[in-house]
C-alpha cells in the first residue's frame, strides 16, 4: 500500500488525505495556472477516486473553462487564500492537488510539462520532461 498523500492550506483550515498514488504529475504553463500560482506555471498531482480522498474544512470554489472547454472547479482556502485542489466536471472521479500544498512536497515527481506553447522565457522548466504544447490526449481533464 502507498504511504498516504496528505496536505492542505497554509493556515491549516483545509486538509486532505488519500491512500491512492497519483495517476499524473505535471507542471502546466497555461495562462489560468500561471495566474492562479502567481508565477510562470502551476504544479499538480492528479489522483483517482475523488470520492476516497478525505477533505476537511470548507473551501471556496470557483469555476473556469479550460482551453479545451472542460470546466475546472478550483478550491481555495477562504481564510488564507491558498489554492489547494481542483476537480473536473467532465471527469468527476479525478482530483488534482497543488504540489506546494503537500505536507511532503518532495513527493511531487513531475512526469510532463503541459501547455509548453504558453511558457515564458523567464520560467524555464526541466528540459528532460516530456513537453506537450497543450494537454495530451487522454489526460484532457487534468490541470
Q: Please, what are the domains in the chain?
A: 5-131 (3.90.1590.10)
Q: What is the pLDDT of residue 140?
A: 41
Q: Which residues of the chain have pLDDT under 70?
A: 1, 137-143
Rounded distance, CA 44 to CA 27, Å? 6
Phi, psi of 30 (to 5 degrees): -65, 160
Report the half-sphere exposure of 70 (CA within 13 A, side-chain side): 17
Asked if residues 112 and 136 have their Cβ atoms less than 8 Å apart, the reply is yes
SS (HEC) of 31-56: HHHHHHHCCCCEEEEEECCHHHCEEE
Amino acid at each position: 500500500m502507498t504511504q498516504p498523500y496528505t496536505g492542505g492550506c497554509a493556515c491549516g483550515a483545509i486538509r486532505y488525505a488519500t491512500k491512492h498514488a497519483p495517476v499524473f504529475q505535471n507542471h502546466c504553463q497555461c495562462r489560468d495556472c500561471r495566474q492562479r500560482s502567481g508565477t510562470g506555471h502551476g504544479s499538480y498531482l492528479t489522483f483517482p477516486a475523488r470520492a476516497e480522498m478525505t477533505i476537511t474544512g470548507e473551501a471556496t470554489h470557483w469555476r473556469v473553462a479550460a482551453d479545451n472547454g472542460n470546466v475546472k472547479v478550483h478550491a481555495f482556502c477562504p481564510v488564507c487564500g491558498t489554492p489547494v485542489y481542483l476537480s473536473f466536471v467532465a471527469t468527476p472521479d479525478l482530483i488534482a492537488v497543488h504540489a506546494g500544498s503537500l505536507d511532503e512536497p518532495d513527493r511531487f515527481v513531475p512526469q510532463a510539462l503541459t501547455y509548453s506553447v504558453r511558457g515564458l522565457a523567464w520560467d524555464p522548466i526541466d528540459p528532460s520532461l516530456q513537453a506537450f504544447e497543450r494537454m495530451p490526449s487522454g489526460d484532457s481533464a487534468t490541470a
